[in-house]
Amino acid sequence: MTDSEVRPWVGKPVRATLADGRVIAGTLHADDAHGHGHAHYAIVSDPLRAGEGAVRQVIHGAESFVEIVDASGDPAALES
The whole-angstrom separation of Cα 26 and Cα 24 is: 7
The domains of the chain, with CATH numbers, are: 3-75 (2.30.30.100)
Helix H or strand E segment including 21: none
**The one-letter amino acid at 45:** S
Strand pairing class (65-70; 55-60): unpaired
- Residue 34's pLDDT is 62
Reported as a single tens digit per residue, the pLDDT across 25-59 is 999 999 876 666 678 999 999 888 889 999 999 99
Cα–Cα distance, 55 to 63 (Å, whole number): 22
Looking at residue 35, its pLDDT comes to 61
Assign 76 to helix, strand or coil.
helix
Which pLDDT tens digit goes with each residue over 5-30? 999 999 999 999 999 999 999 999 99
